[in-house]
Amino acid sequence: MSREHVDPGGNRSILGGADPSTKIDPKNGVREEASDMPCAFEHPSANNEGCTFAVAEGNLVALAGQTWCIYHLPISGRDGTQSPKADYGAAPIADFNAKVFALIDESAGEPGQTTLDLSGVVFPGPINFTGRIMPAVLFSHAYFHGGAYFSDAQFLAAASFAAAHFADLAYFSEASFVGEVDFTDTRFGGVTSFVHAHFAQHTRFAGAQFADIASFSEARFAGIVDLAGVRSADDVSFTDVRFGGRASFADVHFGGDALFEHARFGAEAFFANAYFGRDAVFANTQFNAYADFTDARYYGNADFSVTPFDRSAQPPMENCAFQRVCFVGADFGRTTTFSHRPFQETSDFTRCVFVVAPVLQGCTFYEATALPESAA
């Protein structure tokens, strides 16, 4: 159901979900029919819907032969002409953010599961959502030109950041996602943190790109998590992460160190065709189900060791056994260690290439394990 909204600047609009043929007369605030949407924004979804904010014509901005609402106004037009947003200082940025917060707060207070559609919104500078209660919300294809701070935010329903672009810092530390969350094809340009974040349902990061350091340390994924095709240019940490459902890292490209030390995989873990450009650390990592490293490539050191005789270790050593693991066709370019790692069920190293003979001190192997000649 559409809802009329008056933002802090006195501008009237219809919140996401409004009939796109309706707008607000800027003089008297009365709704009137419009022949088409005045904002040039086109939603990149299959429906190719237009702008859901029916902003008064007096508040539209002309840019390179197009008109835009304040939310979707880009930094520059299709001909390279800069928009007023490019020159926003602290005060205009604060005013823009206040408008967005008003939309969120009003939507969060509405009964039912109305989704607030902020798809394609262009945020001109830093914005701080820290500790906010978030409704079902779409940030798909949004562009954050400054730091985006969602630390300790609570997303009470489904949230989508699919194909969003974070040009600077993106902090989701200790954020809580109650519903499904989608970061498919999202681009993170600055340091990114999901430290201590909690994901209650299906989580998607497939195809996401991280240009700087990214940390998911101590995050909790209760459902299925899809990170297939993720590309990171710098170090990425999944240290002490808990994966409750199936986890896919198939076809990932880790340009820096990939840290999984003390992580726990409660279901299947897939790293087929993974690329590890620097060190891959799986020391004391717990695999409770099938682990697939088929055709993975390791160009740095690979550490799958378990620390022996450490009663304080979490998880305990006896829980760090490979239940069933496949390294078929994997290529290990530098030092590889499996020290003290138990292999309790069938393990397959067929067609593995070890440039340096692997360290197998203290390992125990199930009788059906297929070892390559260089590791026998």
- pLDDT for 196-228, tens place per residue? 999 999 999 999 999 999 999 999 999 999 999
DSSP letters spanning 25-75: -TTT--EEE-SS-SS--B--STT--B-S----GGG-EEETTEEE-TTT--S
| Final residue of a structural domain among 77, 112, 147 | 112
Does residue 65 surpass a pLDDT of 70? yes
| Whether residues 171 and 214 fall in one domain | yes
Q: Give the predicted TM-score (pTM) of the model.
A: 0.85
**pLDDT tens profile 126-162:** 999 999 999 999 999 999 999 999 999 999 999 999 9
Task: Specify the amino acid at residue 58.
Answer: G
363 and 325 in a common domain: yes
Residues 170 and 286 in one domain: yes
117 and 77 inside one domain: no
* Residue 370 φ/ψ, nearest 5 degrees: -100, 105
What's residue 366's pLDDT? Answer: 75
Rounded mean pLDDT of 1-19? Answer: 37
Q: What pLDDT does residue 51 have?
A: 86
For the residues 87-93, what does the mean pLDDT come to?
95
Kindly state whether residues 130 and 156 are assigned to the same domain: yes
Q: Of 96, 112, 128, which one is at a domain's C-terminal end?
A: 112
Which amino acid appears at position 228 of this protein? A
3-class secondary structure, 225: strand
- Mean pLDDT across 282-300: 96
pLDDT over 70 percentage in the chain: 81
Measured CA to CA, the distance from residue 125 to residue 209 in angstroms comes to: 21
pLDDT band at 59 (very low <50, low <70, confident <90, very high): confident
What pLDDT sits at residue 214? 98
Average pLDDT, the chain: 85
Residue 25 pLDDT: 31
Q: Are residues 66 and 123 in the same domain?
A: no
Predicted confidence (pLDDT) at residue 13 exceeds the cutoff of 90: no
pLDDT at 1: 35
Q: Please identify, among 97, 112, 127, the residue that sits at the C-terminal boundary of a domain.
A: 112
Residue 101: predicted pLDDT:
94
Note down the domain range covering 44: 1-112
- In this prediction, residue 114 has a pLDDT band, given cuts at 50, 70 and 90, of confident
Phi-psi region of 365 (alpha: psi -120 to 50; beta: other; left: phi over 0): beta
Give mean pLDDT, residues 297-318: 76
Total domains, the chain: 2
Share of the chain above pLDDT 90, in %: 68
- Lowest mean pLDDT segment, chosen from 42-51, 116-125, 130-139, 307-316: 307-316
CA atoms within 13 A on the CB side of 195: 11
SS3 216: coil
Same domain, 53 and 158: no
Cβ within 8 Å of residue 111, ≥6 positions away: none
Is residue 150 located within the same domain as residue 187? yes
For residue 177, pLDDT beyond 90: yes
pLDDT above 60 (res 37): no
